[in-house]
Structure 1
Amino acid sequence: MNFHQFFLILRARRWILFATLLLTVGATMIVSMLLPKTYKASASVLMNYKGVDPVTGLAMPGQLMPGYMATQIDIISSKNVALRVVDRMKLAESPAVIAQYNEATKGEGTVRDWLADLLLQKVEVQPSRESSVVNISFSGSDPQFVAAVANSFAEEYQRATIQLKADPMKKATGYFNDQTKQLRDNLEAAQSRLSKYQQDHGIVSVDNRLDVETQRLNDLSAQLVAAQSQAMEATSRQRSAQGNADAPDVANNPIVQNLKMSLATAESRLAEIGQRLGRNHPQYLSARAEADRLRTELTTATRSTSASVGNNASILVQREGALRQALAEQKTKVLELNRTRDEMNVLQKDVESALRAFDVTSQRLAQTRIEGQADQSDVAILNPAVAPLRPSGPKVMLNTILALFMGTLLGVGFSMLAEMIDRRVRSDGDLSDLLQIPVLGDISWKAPARKRLSPFNIFTPRKLRLN
């Protein structure tokens, strides 16, 4: 079927097309006029993308996620928000609503759920393109009621966002509160172990005491080195002074030197007297006795000096041994202090770790407690809904235009259906397609105009034209 044949069919079945079109348009207009008027109110809410939490000061990358706006739309159109709206407007307390609920559901379910489902069927959430504004619309027959419902959805959504953010923080606050108590107990236990260890070992400050004992150890080491040098020197002098009157310690002794000078004088005097007097002379005997006495005293002084050098060496050796023993005891004490300090450092580290964990948990507890008590929302009501002055539906003009379009389609469809039921030859193309033979010519016939019946034109022949 080509366009020419299609046009011929529509022209032949034009009464079906026009009748269907008029019937469709007329029915649409009548129904549109009879339908109750519908009002639509819209409230606009703004999603604040601040990027920083006003309570904690932390960045909020979750708002930058692609699914954030879709999530907020799902929250607005959720049953939780709808139930909040029902409770806020006290719709479930109306006797008329309860009667309608009983009639519609036969008492199955709850009136709150039934009302929430009805509200969600008429609410429409539409985000603005490339914007953070979301429009919440509600349709109904009462302009005041639809405005109140739209505003209730916006306000309850705002409260729901606060609750959705605060409830997890409240649960986290309880968890951090328990952790804080446990960490406080751990800190007190670690501090008690450290204090008990200090009391048991009598430690006030390990570092200061260790510094003093280390300084004493260094002093003892220096004294031992000096004592060893002195003992070695004294031992050498002792060996040199034993049986040797010419030893430096013996020769340099003032008593020995005086006795040597006195002995030399006495011997000189004895020699002089011996030249003048005989050996039995009283003066000679007296001079010889004096010389013998001085010689005996010199021998005694030399021995005494040698003994004193030996005693000094013994004293220095004993001092060296005492210093060595004191140094060994000081080393043991320093090592013990080092071990004590290491053990105390371990306990101190435990205290510091427990304190650090307690501080971090306390800070987190304070932060979550503040977040759980915060009533600030990221949603702001931009434009509250107002009662519409004009109805949004039914739209008679739009319905009429759609009826014209649909009526035309139905008329064309019915015309084609009638043609399929009663197929007729409309052109030479139909004839050639039907008989599968070429058309040699066609007869153009036009019915004459109807005239009144008269005896003159009863037998008037009709005009035929052969092409």
Structure 2
Amino acid sequence: MAQGVTLPLVSQRIPPVSEETHLRDYIRIIRKRRWSILSVMVSTVFGTALYVLMQPPIYESTVSLLIEPTGPNVMSKAVEEVYAPIDVNFDYYKTQYELLKSYEIMRETVKQLKLHTHPEYGPRPTDSQDPEPPSETERLLVNAFRGHVKVSPVMNSRIVRVTVESIDPKLAADAANTIAAAYIARTLEMKSGAAQAATKWITARMEELRQKVEVSERNLNEFASQHGLVNVDERRRLTTQKLGDISGQLVKAETKRAEAEARFKQIASVLDNPRQLESSTEVLNSGLIQALRNQEIQASQKVAELGDKYGPKHPALIKADSELKEIQKRIQMEIKKIYSAVKGEY
């Protein structure tokens, strides 16, 4: 009968796994995979650089505006209820910043610059078979343009900067100047409307007082006749004086309006003649235009000197001629601003 043999159990000792991996193991792995790691890094850097180089450059143009928180002072305290001076507070300036980026200002800028024809904002081919309605197309165009406009107030000042971004440097400059001009025209229109409303209020008030004076004089004469009173000259003199004061205010308002109308017609009559326009009183009294004129003279002299010294295609002459044209362009823009300001007062 076979007997079972019991073998002794041999215990095997398994070395414990180290909890810390030596730094040399990482270095060994990196060295082993160094070409794979290097190729990934080179591909990433090259791809990023290629993407950046393929992107068109973005240009910025900034125009600064000085916002004065003063409303029109129309003759006397009698019309303060109609149009009181605007308080210098945060809400007013915040309102002006929002007005600068308002849909109306942006739409006017888009319209003047004809951005629908510009490659940056022009229509792009779509997969949709149904074309968008004109109103929706305009809204999308205006919102797209507004996304490239930044309004940045300067701390502790009344200056606000309007910055426009574009891949076209000329478009960026033109857009910034057009936004500023549209904002100025809008504020002048608001002030002109307030002045006209005040004039209408004065006229209505004067008519109301005239009727009251007539009723009072009639009642006074009846009272004097009933009680045998004859001397009512003092009362009549006071009422006549009050009516005369109001008439004087109206005359001043009409005189001011007539002066503005005369200045407007003078500029409008020579608007198509640059030489006569530049010699108008409003333009000659502008310190900024006179300063630009001095710059224009210096730039013209520089162009003449470089023209005698170099050929027409020399970079220095081209740069000087570009500076001269830019100064002349600024002069024409300032003249148009003066025309718009006088038109707004009228």
Tell me: CA distance 1:164–1:38, structure 2 relative to 1, closer, same or farther (3 Å).
same
Of stretches 121-130 and 58-67 in structure 1, the one that deviates more from structure 2 is: 58-67
Which residue, 141, 147, 170 being the options, matches 2:167?
A: 141
| Post-superposition CA distance 1:356-396 (Å, at most 9, x none) | 5995698489669969x799xxxxx99x9xxxx9xxxxxxx
Deviation at 1:119, TM superposition (A): 1.9
Deviation at 1:203, TM superposition (A): 3.3
Question: Given that residues 71 and 191 in structure 2 are in contact (C-alpha distance below 8 angstroms), is that contact kept between their aligned partners in structure 1?
Answer: no
3-state DSSP of counterpart to 1:131: coil
Question: Given that residues 81 and 153 in structure 1 are in contact (C-alpha distance below 8 angstroms), is that contact kept between their aligned partners in structure 2?
Answer: yes
Structure 2 residue 53 is matched with structure 1 residue 33: yes
Distance 2:240 2:20 in 1: 92
Distance 1:6 1:185 in 2: 104
Structure 2 residue 157 is matched with structure 1 residue 131: yes
Equivalence for 2:42: 22
Question: Given that residues 170 and 368 in structure 1 are in contact (C-alpha distance below 8 angstroms), is that contact kept between their aligned partners in structure 2?
Answer: no
Distance 2:23 2:159 in 1: 51
Deviation at 1:187, TM superposition (A): 1.9
Structure 2 residue 181 is matched with structure 1 residue 155: yes
Deviation at 1:172, TM superposition (A): 4.3
Question: Given that residues 164 and 173 in structure 2 are in contact (C-alpha distance below 8 angstroms), is that contact kept between their aligned partners in structure 1?
Answer: yes
Equivalences for 1:85-100 in 2 at 5 Å?
Answer: 85-91=109-115, 94=117, 100=123
| Post-superposition CA distance 1:304-362 (Å, at most 9, x none) | xxxxxxxxxxxxxxxxxxxxxxxxxxxxxxxxxxxxxxxxx9xx59x968975995698
Distance 2:113 2:87 in 1: 31
Distance 1:3 1:70 in 2: 61
Q: State the structure with more CA Rg.
A: 1
Deviation at 1:56, TM superposition (A): 5.5
Tell me: CA distance 1:62–1:369, structure 2 relative to 1, closer, same or farther (3 Å).
farther
3-state DSSP of counterpart to 2:90: coil
Equivalence for 1:190: 216
3-state DSSP of counterpart to 2:164: strand
Equivalences for 1:49-198 in 2 at 5 Å?
Answer: 62=86, 64-91=88-115, 94=117, 100=123, 106-109=132-135, 111-198=137-224
Distance 1:120 1:109 in 2: 16
Distance 2:21 2:91 in 1: 55
Question: Given that residues 74 and 198 in structure 2 are in contact (C-alpha distance below 8 angstroms), is that contact kept between their aligned partners in structure 1?
Answer: no
Q: Which amino acid aligns with 2:53?
A: M
Equivalences for 1:66-465 in 2 at 5 Å?
Answer: 66-91=90-115, 94=117, 100=123, 106-109=132-135, 111-199=137-225, 203-205=229-231, 356=242, 363=249
Equivalence for 2:295: none
Deviation at 1:31, TM superposition (A): 0.8
Distance 1:95 1:136 in 2: 21
Unmatched tracts of structure 1, length 5 or more: 208-344, 376-380, 390-467
Question: Given that residues 210 and 243 in structure 2 are in contact (C-alpha distance below 8 angstroms), is that contact kept between their aligned partners in structure 1?
Answer: no
| Post-superposition CA distance 1:48-69 (Å, at most 9, x none) | 46x7967659998745213333
Deviation at 1:185, TM superposition (A): 1.7
Q: Which amino acid aligns with 1:78?
A: S
Deviation at 1:40, TM superposition (A): 1.7
Question: Given that residues 60 and 166 in structure 2 are in contact (C-alpha distance below 8 angstroms), is that contact kept between their aligned partners in structure 1?
Answer: yes
3-state DSSP of counterpart to 1:134: strand
Distance 1:125 1:7 in 2: 56
TM-score by length of 2: 0.51
Question: Given that residues 62 and 164 in structure 2 are in contact (C-alpha distance below 8 angstroms), is that contact kept between their aligned partners in structure 1?
Answer: yes
Q: Which amino acid aligns with 1:42?
A: T
Deviation at 1:137, TM superposition (A): 1.4
Deviation at 1:138, TM superposition (A): 1.1
TM-score by length of 1: 0.39
Q: Which amino acid aligns with 1:77?
A: K
3-state DSSP of counterpart to 2:123: helix
| Post-superposition CA distance 1:49-93 (Å, at most 9, x none) | 6x796765999874521333322211111112112223333556x
- Greater relative contact order structure (CA < 8 Å, 6+ sep): 1
| Post-superposition CA distance 1:202-261 (Å, at most 9, x none) | 532279xxxxxxxxxxxxxxxxxxxxxxxxxxxxxxxxxxxxxxxxxxxxxxxxxxxxxx
Distance 2:24 2:72 in 1: 70
Structure 2 residue 64 is matched with structure 1 residue 44: yes
Tell me: CA distance 1:130–1:121, structure 2 relative to 1, closer, same or farther (3 Å).
same
Equivalence for 2:270: none
Q: Give the % identical residues.
A: 20
Tell me: CA distance 1:151–1:185, structure 2 relative to 1, closer, same or farther (3 Å).
same
What do you get for the CA RMSD once the two structures are aligned?
Answer: 5.1
Unmatched tracts of structure 2, length 5 or more: 1-18, 265-287, 293-321, 323-346
Question: Given that residues 115 and 122 in structure 2 are in contact (C-alpha distance below 8 angstroms), is that contact kept between their aligned partners in structure 1?
Answer: no
Question: Given that residues 120 and 167 in structure 2 are in contact (C-alpha distance below 8 angstroms), is that contact kept between their aligned partners in structure 1?
Answer: no
Tell me: CA distance 1:97–1:23, structure 2 relative to 1, closer, same or farther (3 Å).
closer
Count matched residues. 237
Distance 1:90 1:68 in 2: 31
Deviation at 1:153, TM superposition (A): 0.6
Question: Given that residues 40 and 138 in structure 1 are in contact (C-alpha distance below 8 angstroms), is that contact kept between their aligned partners in structure 2?
Answer: yes
Deviation at 1:33, TM superposition (A): 1.0
Q: Which amino acid aligns with 2:94?
A: A
Q: Which amino acid aligns with 2:89?
A: M
Question: Given that residues 127 and 135 in structure 1 are in contact (C-alpha distance below 8 angstroms), is that contact kept between their aligned partners in structure 2?
Answer: yes
Distance 1:360 1:86 in 2: 46
| Post-superposition CA distance 1:89-111 (Å, at most 9, x none) | 3556x598997289696225255
